Amino acid sequence: MIKFLNTLSIYILPLIITIILCYAIYKKTPAYENFIEGAKEGFSIAVKIIPYLVAIMVCTAMLRASGAIELLQNILKPLLDYFKIPVETTILMITRSLSGSATLGVLSDVINQTGANSYATKLAAVITGSSETTFYVASVYFGAVGIKKFRHALLAGILADITGLIAAVWICSVFFL
């Protein structure tokens, strides 16, 4: 089952791209021109996240160099070991509900620290890819229409975030350990 799903992971991108291209042919829309049009945005998105990446990567690099992460590591070690959670991913679990760009910075930092093929990197990638920043979404969407009483929206979002985290730790241990 896991093996099948792993294979599916590799085929899903070609599959989606094929469907998109075939539909473009069917609808007689110019695929190449539309590709170029959309691709132009790639540059601005990458450049836009630079300030966020700098902010969070400087923070985490300093934390590590100062020995603070080591301290945290020693305190949390028994708990994290029990659930097989690499200590590098703990900061990610906090930032991911607060800021998407900051989370990308932490992800890059985990990769830097543990290598591109480590379990920590895979777990961090799944956590990052499967979440949206709850507080940001709430402030943008409710702010846009002037809603001041959020009622249960934030609480439900946070509970779902926590469920997602637990699911990520579990699913990754099934797939990658």
Partner 1 sequence: MNYIFIFLILISFVCAIINGKVDIVVNEMLKSSQKAVEIAIGLIGIMAFWLGIVNIAKVSGLMNLFSNMIKKPLLLIFPDLKNNNEAISDIALNISANALGLTNAATPFGIKAMEDMQKENENKNQATNSMCTFLAINTAGFQIVPAVVLAILTASGMNNPAQIIIPTLIVTSIAFISALIFVKILERFFK
> At closest approach, how far in Å is the CB of 174 from partner 1?
8
Binding to partner 1 by residue 76, rule CB under 8 A?
no
Q: By CB under 8 A, name the one of 89, 102, 113, 119 that touches partner 1.
A: 102
Which of residues 3, 17, 86, 113 is near partner 1 by CB under 8 A?
17
- Asked if residue 75 binds partner 1 (CB under 8 A), the reply is no
Q: Is 59 exposed, middle or buried (0-12, 13-18, 19+ CB in 10 A)?
A: middle
> What single DSSP character describes residue 118?
S
Checking phi first, is residue 151 left (phi over 0); if not, alpha (psi -120 to 50) or beta? left
Compute CA 7 distance to the chain's CA centroid, rounded to the nearest angstrom: 22
The verdict on 139 binding partner 1 (CB under 8 A) reads no
Close Cβ partners of 90 (under 8 Å, ≥ 6 residues apart) = 72, 76, 80
Among 80, 85, 93, 107, binds partner 1 (CB under 8 A): 107
Nearest approach, Cβ of residue 78 and partner 1 (Å): 22
User: Considering beta carbons, is residue 45 or 78 the nearer one to partner 1?
Assistant: 45
